[in-house]
Amino acid sequence: MITIVYFAWVRESIGHDEERVERPAPGVTVADLIAQLATRGGGYAQVLSDPAKLRAAIDQRFVPLDTVIGDAKEVALFPPVTGG
């Protein structure tokens, strides 16, 4: 199993902070996982249908969406972060 953590409007649209899902097959990227989750419909489809609006972290390290998940324990999905 792997934990997926959602932040900000991603969390609000999906309706929960995190969930545990079956570990993806070898070679699956964060973008692949996002596409798979979007097929669930509802809030998932709404917020995950445009991955360009998302950022990700694997085991608390920022990564591009084309990063292979591998043996990670956690994937976090969130909107772009801005500083001020």
Tokens 């570990």, residue? 23
Average pLDDT over every residue of 2-13:
95
Average pLDDT over every residue of 67-80:
96
**Alpha-carbon distance 45 to 27, whole Å?**
23
**Alpha-carbon distance 11 to 79, whole Å?**
10
Contact call for residues 58 and 67 (beta carbons, < 8 A): yes
Cα atoms in the 13 Å half-sphere on the side-chain side of 70: 9
Residue-wise pLDDT tens digits, 42-63: 999 999 999 999 999 999 999 9
Domain architecture of the chain: domains with CATH: 2-78 (3.10.20.30)
Q: How many CB atoms lie within 10 A of CB 14?
A: 21
Residue-wise pLDDT tens digits, 24-42: 999 999 999 999 999 999 9
Contact call for residues 33 and 71 (beta carbons, < 8 A): no
